[in-house]
Amino acid sequence: MLFDQDRPSWSIDGGDWPNRQHSRFIQSGGLSWHVQQMGTGPQLLLLHGTGAATHSFRDLAPRLAENFQVLTLDLPGHGFTAMPPGNGMSLDGMARLIGGVLTRTNFEPALVVGHSAGAAILVDMTHAAMIEPKGIIALNGALRPIRGASLFSPLAKLLFLNPLAPKLFAWRALSSQATRGLLEGTGSHIDRVGIELYERLFRKSGHVAGTLGMMANWNLDGIAGQIASLAMPLILLTAPNDRAVPPRDAVLLAASGKSVRVQALDSGGHLVHEENPERVADLIRDLAHQLGVL
């Protein structure tokens, strides 16, 4: 399959992967998936956003595992999970494939947490009754259509279909300054370990192709209706320095959905869960108590 030959190698790139002792690979939906599962208690699903992998929760997941049984995974085409065929990189496609993983692992989350685009996948899965959580927590959730997406998506699709484009992006990632600049452009300042892990992934054209493929196939036109129909709370955690998803988007969403509420953090950027995992874990635990999960 396109770009799969340059996917990150678990034996090389994953040799010191965060929380590696909790990693395993499963087959589902015709794909090989990298999943991490840890802890005991109510089941909690964590989904990362575009361009990341399980490393994004390297410090958050172990903290949550003190109270929950946590499952996190690399999205299709990201990290160490294979690239899917057909519409597997679309919102509905990813939701369906992840639903298959949950069935395969007998995982029925009582609470779900998604960062950025991961939150949209969780809303879609809930709307389709693939999961029935007591609440959805969005960390800087990307839940509104991107302005100008009608122009952006075809460009992303063109880049995705051009075999040279992911290789060019991966080559750029050989510069640590390029990766640091990309991450700081989201309004976050993460530690050197985090930057190096993103660099490691961005050097692989397979991972870059997965990121571009997700962008090319992303369509949130129906998400507002899904949010309005939610029967359980959707809590939007926002960070003031987020330059990727404006915090005001959450305010607009809260005004349109009776089950939606906003909880604003007092610091942090788009990757606030990497900047301050202890604070975010405490908030998630507090919300779990409010929702009756803990």
CA–CA distance, 54 with 74 (Å, rounded to integer): 6
- Radius of gyration (Cα) for the chain, nearest Å? 17
Task: Considering only the C-alpha atoms of the chain, give the largest distance between any 2 of them, rounded to a whole number of Å.
Answer: 50
Local structure of 35: helix, strand or coil:
strand
Residue 144, pLDDT > 70, answer yes
Query: Which residue, chain included where needed, has tokens 């009756």?
Result: 292
Please give the helix or strand (H or E) that residue 32 lies within, else none. strand 31-38
Hey, what CATH topology would domain 18-148+219-290 get?
Rossmann fold (3.40.50)
Mean pLDDT of the region 198-209:
92
Lowest mean pLDDT among 157-166, 170-179, 196-205, 279-288: 157-166
Percent of the chain that is helix, strand, coil (3-state, to 5): 45, 15, 40
Lowest mean pLDDT among 45-49, 162-166, 275-279: 162-166
Q: What is the structure's pLDDT at 45?
A: 99
The domains of the chain are located at: 18-148+219-290
Residue 107, pLDDT > 60, answer yes
For residue 169, name the pLDDT band (cuts at 50, 70, 90).
confident
Q: What is the structure's pLDDT at 1?
A: 42
Indicate the average pLDDT of the chain: 91
Q: What is the structure's pLDDT at 3?
A: 44
Q: Pairing between strand 43-47 and 111-115? A: parallel
Local structure of 69: helix, strand or coil:
strand
Is the entire prediction scored with pTM above 0.95?
A: no
Mean pLDDT of the region 2-12:
78
Residue 49, pLDDT > 70, answer yes
Q: What is the structure's pLDDT at 179?
A: 85
Residue type, position 25, single letter: F
Residue 2, pLDDT > 50, answer no
Cα–Cα distances in angstroms (integers) from residue 54 to residues 36, 241, 275, in the given order: 8, 23, 15
CA–CA distance, 267 with 284 (Å, rounded to integer): 16
Mean pLDDT of the region 176-205:
91
Looking at per-residue pLDDT, the higher value among 51 and 145 belongs to: 51
Please give the angle made by the CA atoms of 264, 52 and 94, to the nearest 5 degrees.
95
For residue 75, name the pLDDT band (cuts at 50, 70, 90).
very high
Tens of pLDDT, residue by residue over 20-42, are 999 999 999 999 999 999 999 99
Cα–Cα distances in angstroms (integers) from residue 293 to residues 43, 75, 112, 187, 207, in the given order: 9, 25, 11, 32, 35
